[in-house]
Structure 1
Amino acid sequence: MTRPITVVTGGSRGIGAATCLRLAADGHDVAVGYARDAAAAEAVVAGVREAGGRAVALRADTSVEADVERLFDAAEEGLGPVTGLVNNAAVTGPLGRLADSDTADLRRVLDVNLLGVLLCARRAARLMTPRGSGAIVNVSSGAATLGSPGEYVHYAASKAGVDALTLGLAKELGPDGIRVNAVAPGVIDTEMHAAAGDAGRAARMGAAVPMGRAGRAEEIAAAISWLLSPDASYTTGTVLRVAGGR
């Protein structure tokens, strides 16, 4: 059987990196999208190859249409027809109350977390629809339903948009043989918390989760891989919460 070829945005770290490695172990070839850290992306590529998959590292700012077009063009040129997309690239901006937020930070969060997902999903749909098959998994967040007051309500709002996109696009693309789902992680122990200005957030917040801990990136990757797999062949329009009970 032909190996699936999956584009993973934000694939150089955290959930994205774990997803690339899990997909390789599950038989995928992977286009590792990244924004800045070329060395980290190449390390993920090496891991994919060690697992038996083909991989390329491709730099792209997913909020920029031309970058998205180049990302998918290069993925198809380097690996072959894209069969799957993991819309993972996201930013939070600094933690704090909305009233204290900078407009540039708000705009960047919406541009990456929502516009970027729309642009990538649109390109994937244009490629997959004539082929009559494909799967898209958007990485949402438990914040979409919790709101994240006092921390990043703008991030929560962007992820609520991702949930709405997932539902609507699943209905739109279902007749074309394309499944669209999302995973909504809870508190996951990745470097995103430090980037937002609170390196200890995962451990602190994880203690209040019913399961008593923060999640691991590998646990989210497992859910993403399942949604891309034939085992999820009748699953579409679903937001799968992987949040330890929170």
Structure 2
Amino acid sequence: MKHVLLVTGASRGIGAATARLAAARGYAVCINYLRNASHATALAAEIEAAGGEAMVHQADVGNEADVVAMFEAIDARLGRITALVNNAGILETQMRVEDMDAGRLARTLQANVIGSFLCAREAVRRMARKHGGAGGTIVNVSSMAARLGSPDEYVDYAASKGAIDSFTIGLAREVAADGIRVNAVRPGLIRTDIHAAGGEPGRVDRLKGSLPLQRGGEPEEVAAAILWLLSDEASYSTGTFIDVSGGR
């Protein structure tokens, strides 16, 4: 059976590392991006040059029409999806809760929570046995922030990832009988440019000394955990989490 994977937010960081590793392991990959078309296109070209199969699709995962159109494009180009990695998410400037406005909260929840729900909905409609699918796997990218709360920095982001943790558990129990496994990874301090979006590009270096492993993580280390959860090696795991956090 052909394995078809959608990775949202795959033009950079953890998403790009996941798409690259998945393609190397035989998945046909859809690389979703919002704004960074050049990086997404370059990644697809890299995958195809190595003998893999990839497509690129621009979509805002928080927009329902965009999500529906993206899944229809995957159907037409790659075939029925068998795996989904809900990776797309945003982080806004470091700020205390007392200074946050409703617009910021809405943007964070739309991208990080509603986007994951919408993509999972479309995936389940294609994977579930009751809909003619052959089952499948979903991995949600949460964060250690869901457990730590990110005080004085990103409590809104942490709350959105807490929602992803609950979503993972609930969806896993809901669709298990349809042959779909749902799990999550919780990355810690990983070297990606999301920290620059929060206003502190050097955040990993500032905090790495507080970690038991004394270093920041790499996107490829998170991707390896994601690919394990997608694989048959994790066939008895659903509704569970892997913390990729250096012991944090």
Report the TM-score when normalising by structure 2: 0.97
- CA deviation map 1:92-119 (0-9, x unaligned): 1111111112321111000000010011
- After TM superposition, what 4+ stretches of structure 1 lie above 4 angstroms from structure 2? none
Matched with 1:142 is 144
Moved more, 192-201 or 93-102: 93-102
SS of 1:207 mapped into structure 2: helix
Matched with 2:18 is 19
Matched with 1:72 is 71
**2 CA distance for matches of 1:50 and 1:244?**
34
Matched with 2:50 is 51
In the TM superposition, 1:1-246 aligns within 5 A as 2-129=1-128, 130=131, 131-246=133-248
**1 CA distance for matches of 2:149 and 2:14?**
21
Paired residue type of 2:157: Y
**2 CA distance for matches of 1:75 and 1:32?**
10
**1 CA distance for matches of 2:210 and 2:50?**
36
Q: CA deviation at 1:49?
A: 1.4
Q: 1:21·1:51 contact (CA, 8 Å) conserved in 2?
A: no
Q: 1:93·1:106 contact (CA, 8 Å) conserved in 2?
A: no
Q: CA deviation at 1:44?
A: 1.2
Q: 1:189·1:203 contact (CA, 8 Å) conserved in 2?
A: no
**1 CA distance for matches of 2:98 and 2:105?**
11
SS of 1:31 mapped into structure 2: strand
Q: Percent identity?
A: 51
Moved more, 44-53 or 126-135: 44-53
**1 CA distance for matches of 2:49 and 2:227?**
18
Q: CA deviation at 1:50?
A: 2.8
Paired residue type of 1:63: G
Paired residue type of 2:34: A
SS of 1:114 mapped into structure 2: helix
Report the TM-score when normalising by structure 1: 0.98
Q: 1:30·1:48 contact (CA, 8 Å) conserved in 2?
A: no
Q: Which runs of 5+ in 2 are unaligned?
A: none
Q: CA deviation at 1:10?
A: 0.1
- CA deviation map 1:142-172 (0-9, x unaligned): 0000000000000000000000000010000
**1 CA distance for matches of 2:102 and 2:209?**
32
Moved more, 100-109 or 163-172: 100-109
- CA deviation map 1:151-208 (0-9, x unaligned): 0000000000000000010000000000000000001000000111101101112221
**1 CA distance for matches of 2:78 and 2:3?**
10
